[in-house]
Chain A
Amino acid sequence: MHTAIAAPKGVWWVPAHKGEKVWVGIAFAWCMVLFAMMPLWHFKGGQNPAGIRYKTTPAAYMARVQEFAEQYKVGDVNGVPLVAPPPGSDVYLIGMQWQWYPQLKLTRGASYTLHLSSFDVDHGFNLYPLNINFMVVPGYDYGLRIVPNQSGDYRVVCNEFCGIGHHTMLGRIVVVDGDNRAGGDPGKPTLHSSRPPQLRHGSDRAAAAPGLAAPGSGGTQ
């Protein structure tokens, strides 16, 4: 027998010992299980990243977001609309440096198509505390059918680095039992007093050119 630093001479392409063959067989079977789980869950499971996926532009998407917010607005949290769309509808959320817009109020058990896109750089959609995560990319509309299964006052955390304000970027999704269009804002989200809430509506930025380059060295503004 030789070690791995010796050059093997002659024919070394020979059958494996039985113990090795057994292990390779077991490992192969496990790999097939691993592989089968994905298509299985794709067709039978409740959570998949397969969404409705399109190309778009930040300006066009932002315009649609504002239209949506205007149409179904039921409240206001320091300038950011709280929007309650009807069950089954298309819901629009946009990420931008450094907020999520608008805030959403949904009905438990109802199905919505949640659209995700960015106004500027890549962002990461993370729904706290459920730990649902998706990418939010400028120029792409990612539409995911969601069915909230528990009521609560959720937060949207950004988990893709998007510049110096990245760690202040928080959004909100409220889920209520019953009609989401009734009752205004059920929660009273505590606001940090250390800085005034952001009043950055899309309207003053919608006119900006679709060019997306963050100025200068990117990230330290």
Chain B
Amino acid sequence: MTAAALASLAARFRTCPVTGLKVDRTAQRLITAFAVAAVVSMIAGVIGAFALVLTRWQAVHLLPATWYYRLLTVHAVSMLIFFIIFFEMAVLYFAGPVLLSSRAAAPKLSWLGFGLMAVGAVLTEVVMWSGNADVLFTSYPPLKANPNYYLGIILYAVGALLTVGLFFANLVVARREKTYQGSVPLVTFGATTAAVIAVITLLHGAAIYVPTWLWAMGWAPMPDPEVYRMIWWGLGHSSQQINVAAMVSIWYLLGALTVGAVVINEKISRTAFFLYVLFISMASAHHLLVDPGFGAAWKIWNTSYAMYLAVLATMIHGFTVPAGLEMGQRLRGYTKGAFEWLTKAPWGDPGFSATIFSIILFGFIGGITGVTFGTEQINIIAHNTLRVPGHFHATVVAGTALAFMGATYYVIPLVFRKQIAFWPVARIQPYLFAAGMALFTTSMTFAGTFGVPRRHYDISFAGAALDLQYSPAVDLLLAIMGIGGLLAATGATLYIAIAAWSVFFGKRLPEDAKEGMAMGFHGVPQGVLRLPKQAYGAEAGEPEVRAHEGVLKLRGTYVLVGVFLLAFIVYYFVNWKLLSFVWKVG
């Protein structure tokens, strides 16, 4: 490299005054683009959320039938694909070049990746809103949408695959250019896991959307409905596993930034991520447990993520993440009793509160319900009922999306160098969103146990040739679902407003750290200005020697995981009992 080229490369970097990381401005601009695209996609999703929740709240029944199914398609695609994958691409640029202090490789290709995704998303949205894809997110043939629907998603997926490929390239670049010593940080490793699962996801997506697009164009025969379902869910559920890996990585990230959470044991945490890499995508079979296409052996082996080893991985993170938080807090002096580390934690910091609620709601509601009715036989009493969206709103929304919201509150000051707007509102936003989602998911799950179907416009069956009256409890549950959903959608709207305003109109933060400290914590989460000691400096990066027995008295965490396991065991066996009451079948 010439001296001029070297100099111009150096000029691309700025040094973060908080963490000391060297940030490539190209990577920073890409993070900005992906994050903004994510939030814009969320707007479409949230409009859908308000309308849908006011329709399934049967007493309100806002939309007419066509718009219900239309906005259900919009809501799912905008949230589950566009919002969340755009955000994850931003995470890849953060966990890669930023955390490794390295350069983003091939800037032009990177922007091409973003461009393809943006064009694909816009095309798909236009087709959906104009009523040319009323087929729902799964678009199961023989239902057929306008070919541009599939084309838009294909473009998006190609752009995403390119971006994921560049993440791997960035890892190589960072290692070759020795911008860090030792192994990549755990957050980066978690992001790598997410990237591997993303490749699995996107390859299945290509394998199914291309033939389906060809059929929609009239150039190829219809894909077989069962083959379609199997390959589609290789995209559909695996994309949710990207979300799990990304969410857990964010838990580790925010733990570090908010309270200096430490890594108890790198080997254990990384092995857990490795189990995700190998086995978590097999659970796409969850959706096919009551399908005619597959035998019991295939169903049992795949739905179990290979003997539940991927569930083991989540239970490991379910220990190491709180343990890391507890340890980090104890190292800062909060050592009284079993829970002072938690009670004296920065609950006013939206990055922290979002993380805690994400962990609790994902674990207790999302994880337990999902593993339970992902059991081959228990699925018989759950498939296509409201139990399914009750579960996945707890995992993807109360889990991943909430964690991403928390991350945003740190990205705004650290990457965008802006103050967070509407700070008093920002501090309570995670509470509002979490409370709404808790009500929404639990009531939906209960309604599902009464048999209420998902993706269904009218459970009064007006216009049907027969009658059916659900238990009156269902009306109450759907009302609670409506209220919870409105609260949560409001929380999401506030998040969008706060994020957008901060990024575009927010006050700039001073570059000087001292000046920043002097302005206090209004508009800036406490971890930004007061990054815990163990997060930087001499203690960082020390090799993990055999941990001293006495140090790891993590009483709080032991209690929490014990309560979790108990809840899991009870819920699981109650469901077997429920199953045993129905007709003999099979």
Q: How many A-B residue pairs have CB under 8 A?
A: 407
Kindly state the separation between the CA atoms of A204 and B4 in the bound complex, as whole angstroms: 79
Cβ of A60 < 8 Å from any Cβ of B? no
Q: Does B493 contact A (CB under 8 A)?
A: no
CA distance A7 to B546 in the complex (A): 18
CB distance from B266 to the nearest CB of A (A): 4
CA distance A215 to B257 in the complex (A): 54
Known contacts A135-B291, A159-B455, A172-B466; decide if A47 and B584 are in contact (CB<8 Å): yes
Query: A5 vs B539: C-alpha distance in the bound complex, in angstroms?
Result: 12
Of A30, A46, A167, most B-chain CB atoms within 10 Å: A167
Question: A120: which of B142, B292, B453 is its contact (CB, 8 Å)?
Answer: B142
- Min Cβ gap A86→B in Å is 18
Complex alpha-carbon distance, A220 and B466, angstroms: 22
A131 x B572 contact (CB < 8 A): no
Known: A4-B252, A49-B380, A213-B222. A134 touches B466 (CB 8 A): no
- List the B side residues contacting A132 at CB < 8 Å: 380-381, 582-583, 585
Residue in B143, B262, B377, B461 whose beta carbon sits within 8 Å of that of A49 in the complex: B377
- Most A Cβ at <10 Å: residue of B252, B265, B292, B315: B292
Main secondary structure, interface of B, reads loop
Contact of A4 among B186, B467, B582 (CB under 8 A): B186
A-chain residues with CB within 8 Å of residue B289 when the two chains form the complex: 49
Tell me whether A145 is interfacial, beta carbon within 8 Å: yes
State which residues 431-476 of B face A: CB under 8 Å: 449-451, 453-459, 461-468, 471
Q: Given A14-B267, A122-B225, answer yes or no on A191-B465 (Cβ-Cβ < 8 Å).
A: yes
In the bound complex, residues from chain A placing their C-beta under 8 Å from that of B328 are: 3
Residue of A15, A111, A124, A169 ringed by the most chain B CB atoms within 10 A: A124
* Chain B neighbourhood of A145, CB < 8 A: 584-586
With A14-B546, A38-B376 in contact, do A137 and B465 touch (Cβ < 8 Å)?
no
Q: Are B540 and A47 in contact (CB under 8 A)?
A: no
Q: Indicate the size class of the contact surface on chain B.
A: 35 or more
Verify A140–B307 contact, CB threshold 8 A. Answer: no
- Taking a contact as CB atoms closer than 8 A, the residue among A14, A127, A140, A166 that contacts B545 in the complex is A14
Do the beta carbons of A31 and B468 come within 8 Å of each other?
no
Given A2-B262, A34-B371, A46-B584, are A18 and B467 neighbors across the interface (CB < 8 Å)?
no
**Residues B451 and A128 in contact, CB atoms below 8 Å apart:** yes
B547 in contact (CB, < 8 A): yes
The answer to whether B165 has its CB under 8 Å from any CB of chain A is no
B263 contacts the other chain (CB 8 A):
yes
A32 to B451, CA, bound (A): 30
Name, among A27, A45, A49, the residue most crowded by chain B CB atoms within 10 Å (CB to CB).
A49
Complex Cα gap A115–B382 (Å): 20
Q: List chain A residues, Cβ under 8 A from B255.
A: 3-4
A133 near B466 (CB under 8 angstroms)? no
Q: For B264, what are the chain A residues with a Cβ–Cβ distance below 8 Å? A: 16-17, 20
Binary per-residue interface labels of chain B (120-154) against chain A in the complex, 1 for a CB within 8 Å, 0 otherwise: 00000000000111111000111111100000000
Residues of A close to B422: CB separation below 8 A = none
Q: Say yes or no: A31-B466 contact (C-beta < 8 A), given A126-B384, A159-B385.
A: no
Whether A131 contacts B381 by the Cβ 8 Å rule is yes
Contact indicator B582/A32 (Cβ below 8 Å): no
Size of the A side of the interface (Cβ < 8 Å), in residues, is 108
CA distance A169 to B461 in the complex (A): 8
**Judging by beta carbons under 8 Å apart, are B292 and A161 in contact?**
no
CB proximity to A under 8 Å, residues B309-327: 309, 311-312, 315-316, 319-320, 323-324, 327
Q: Is the CB of A195 within 8 A of B290?
A: no
1/0 contact trace for B97-120 toward A, CB 8 Å? Answer: 001100000000000000000000
In the complex, are the beta carbons of A9 and B181 less than 8 A apart? yes
Is A87 part of the binding interface, using a Cβ–Cβ cutoff of 8 Å? no
Contact A9 to B380, CB < 8 A, known contacts A17-B547, A170-B461: no
Any A CB within 8 A of the CB of B542: yes
Q: Mark B266-305, 1 if CB is under 8 A from A, else 0.
A: 1110000000000000000000011111011001100110
Contact A7 B292 (CB under 8 A): no
Evaluate contact between A19 and B558: CB separation under 8 angstroms: yes
Q: Which of B255, B308, B565 has the most CB of A within 10 A?
A: B308
Q: How far is the CB of B225 from chain A (nearest CB, A)?
A: 5
Contacts A20-B265, A34-B311, A131-B582 given; does A10 touch B292 at CB 8 Å: no
Residues on A with beta carbons closer than 8 Å to the beta carbon of B582 = 47, 130-132, 149
* A contact residues around B225 at 8 Å (CB): 122, 137-140, 212
Which one of A35, A49, A116 lies within 8 Å of B307 (CB-CB)?
A: A35
B333 at interface, CB cutoff 8 A: no
Is B465 within 8 A of A198, CB to CB? yes
> CB-nearest residue of chain B relative to A34?
B308
Cα A218 to Cα B312 in complex, Å, equals 42
Closest chain-B Cβ to A168's Cβ sits at a distance in Å of 4
Using known A-B contacts A46-B580, A218-B135, determine if residue A38 contacts B300 with beta carbons closer than 8 Å. Answer: yes
- Tell me whether A7 and B182 are in contact in the complex, defined as CB-CB below 8 angstroms, given that A2-B262, A218-B143 are known contacts: yes
Give, as a whole number of angstroms, the nearest-CB distance from A207 to chain B.
Answer: 18
Give chain B's interface residues, CB within 8 Å of chain A.
19, 65-66, 69, 99-100, 131-136, 140-146, 180-187, 215, 222, 224-226, 229, 252-253, 255-257, 260-268, 289-293, 295-296, 299-300, 303-304, 307-309, 311-312, 315-316, 319-320, 323-324, 327-328, 331, 371, 375-377, 379-385, 449-451, 453-459, 461-468, 471, 532, 534-536, 539-547, 549, 552, 554, 558, 561, 565, 568-569, 572, 576, 579-580, 582-586
7 further interface pairs, Cβ-Cβ under 8 Å (given A4-B255, A122-B140, A133-B381): A1-B539, A20-B264, A26-B565, A41-B377, A47-B579, A126-B385, A192-B464
